A and B are shown apart, each in its own frame.
Chain A
Amino acid sequence: AQSVTQLGSHVSVSEGALVLLRCNYSSSVPPYLFWYVQYPNQGLQLLLKYTSAATLVKGINGFEAEFKKSETSFHLTKPSAHMSDAAEYFCAVKSPSSASKIIFGSGTRLSIRP
């Protein structure tokens, strides 16, 4: 079964520092991978998705993720953190056989220190 594992339930970085949120997937078939962000008391917003067209995927708000098949990873990065990036981030996967069902990781809460 498809699954994703997020390492670190809470990450804290200083404003202007690099953001790195880790995600590893478990899949025996080419995965459909996504990163979502959730701000307090809000729904989920898609940051980016892996489409197999390129291993480095650029998303909104300056975020990007690199798909590494050899490491079964899809880590999310941002070169310079901003206070407005404070939120919860979810890595997610879909199975080709169930295009509508999104399987989410446990989430990583990102805090930004001034």
Chain B
Amino acid sequence: KAGVTQTPRYLIKTRGQQVTLSCSPISGHRSVSWYQQTPGQGLQFLFEYFSETQRNKGNFPGRFSGRQFSNSRSEMNVSTLELGDSALYLCASSLGDHNPNTEAFFGQGTRLTVV
């Protein structure tokens, strides 16, 4: 079955602009989580969506937001981009049950560069 698909793979934006990233989870998976990966801060949890509702949230400013559609596809939006938002944004798909042992499957990520 198809894996997690993130689009686009690469993106260059200017400071102050906004950006939308997309993630299509594995078929049947209802949970989508987003992570930011930077050399300085490592991998950090942004938020999780399950059944179109934000179920969990990390410690990021309100400029970072997301949503999930009825087909479980998710989008992440960053407004008023800053240079520090340059990162690899990873999406993870899982069944969404409450079992911590349930595996999360990651997409290849979107590399965002803010200039």
Contact = CB atoms under 8 A, between A and B. Distances in A.
B16 to A, nearest CB: 27
B100 interface: yes
Interface string A71-114: 00000000000000000001000111011111111110000000
A54 B4 CA distance: 30
Contacts of B103: 46, 49
Q: How large is the interface on B (under 10, 10 to 19, 20 to 34, 35 or more residues)?
A: 20 to 34
B92 A99 contact: no
A105 B92 CA distance: 17
A100 B101 contact: no
A103 B97 CA distance: 18
Interface residues of A, number: 23
Given A100-B48, A100-B56, A104-B43, A32 B106 contact: no
B58 interface: yes
The A interface is mostly helix, strand or loop, or mixed, namely: strand
B28 to A, nearest CB: 16
Contacts of A103: 45
A47 to B, nearest CB: 11
A42 interface: yes
B109 interface: yes
B108 A99 contact: no
A16 to B, nearest CB: 30
A32 B90 contact: no
B55 interface: yes
Nearest to B6: A43
A44 B55 contact: no
A100 B31 contact: yes
Interface of B: 4, 31, 33, 35, 42-45, 48, 50, 55-56, 58, 90, 92, 94, 96-109, 111
Given A49-B103, A105-B42, 6 more contacts: A43-B4, A44-B90, A96-B100, A99-B99, A101-B58, A104-B42
6 contacts: A43-B90, A45-B106, A98-B56, A100-B50, A102-B104, A105-B42
